[in-house]
Amino acid sequence: MTKEDAMTKQQLMNELEQLRDQVLQFKKLEKELMTTEQVLRCAEEQWRRLFEDAQHGILVLDAETGQVKEANPHFLAMLGYSKGEVIGKNLFDLDCFIDVEKNKAAFKELKVKGHCHLDNVPLETRTGLRLDIEIDSKVCAVTDNKIIHCNFHDNTERNSNEREIRLIATHDSLTGLPNRILFLDRAHIAVLHAQRRKKMVALVSLDLDKFSSVNETLGNDLGNKLLKAVAERFTGLLRKSDTIARVGGDEFAMVLPELEHMEDVIKIADKLVDAFRQQFMVNGRRVIVTISAGVAVYPADGKDPETLLNCADKLMYNVRSQGSNSYKMSQMITP
């Protein structure tokens, strides 16, 4: 073998070795690519399962147009839609969105800020049921496109339970009127407003005369119905800004805010006492129950609700000791 042949052979062997290295590299890259594809498929499957099995509604929207690209089963079931009725539609063309203008404003804010949170958004199902929905939305970049990922949480039951708890805590279970807690809260607010606006507030303490004898002679059931009728009569006599509360068994109290003159207080007190000189019809029985009332006025009789109510209570007990069926104010002689 000549020297030139030996050099050619060595060169071919080197090139063959390089090819072998390249083949190995290609095989390695192929294996890595397969692994990457497997990871991507696995991640896609995991995302799909999270999307499909999520226990809250999910919508995927086009960030520019608001067009629905994806909707998960929980969203569809929650509102009663089929997938074909949602995909490809503009979000605000869906009948479930009641306050369209407010939601369009939120969509504009989302496009500017990239995220948006809304509480108690009213949505309506296909059957007409009203839902309280919490919506979290975020703009996300996917390849060269932008999408909006929206999470819908149904808080209807939770909100209903919270409202019921607040109602129990602040209202009388028999009459539905505010209780002492809510009464004092509204009285406090009324006094604060009166301080700023230089007006008067009247707190009225009311007691049903000889109500115990009604229970004794006619029974508790009729007595309870009478209390409900009393509450309705009180409510019908007052302005929308006034508050009537049941603060004890047969004890009631009122907040009368935004009063200009003492004559206004006297007119209301006269009207209350006169209204209860008229009979009630309860279970076919005619029942007459009158009231004794004490009226305390801010700022003359006190500067806070507790002081005013204490003054009104004393005036009311004074009326009862003198024969009942009337009212008394510290600013005037009882009529």
**Active-site position among 250, 270, 301, 304:** 250
Confirm if 200 and 194 have CB atoms less than 8 A apart: yes
Q: How far is CA 273 from the centre of its chain?
A: 38
> Which domains can be identified in the chain, with CATH numbers?
54-159 (3.30.450.20), 171-329 (3.30.70.270)
Tell me if residue 72 falls in helix, strand or coil: coil
pTM to 2 decimal places: 0.62
pLDDT tens, residue order, the chain (335 aa): 566 666 666 676 777 777 777 767 777 776 766 766 666 666 567 767 877 888 899 999 988 888 999 999 999 999 999 998 999 988 878 888 888 777 778 888 888 888 889 888 889 898 888 999 999 999 988 777 888 999 999 999 888 888 888 888 899 999 999 999 999 999 999 999 999 888 999 999 999 998 888 888 888 888 999 999 999 999 999 988 999 999 999 999 999 999 989 999 999 999 999 999 888 988 888 888 899 999 999 999 999 999 999 999 999 999 998 888 899 998 654 33
Nearest to 81 by CA among 96, 62, 63, 100: 96
- Token pair 């290295």 is at which residue? 21
**Is 93 annotated as catalytic?**
no
CA angle 141, 144, 148 (to 5 degrees): 35
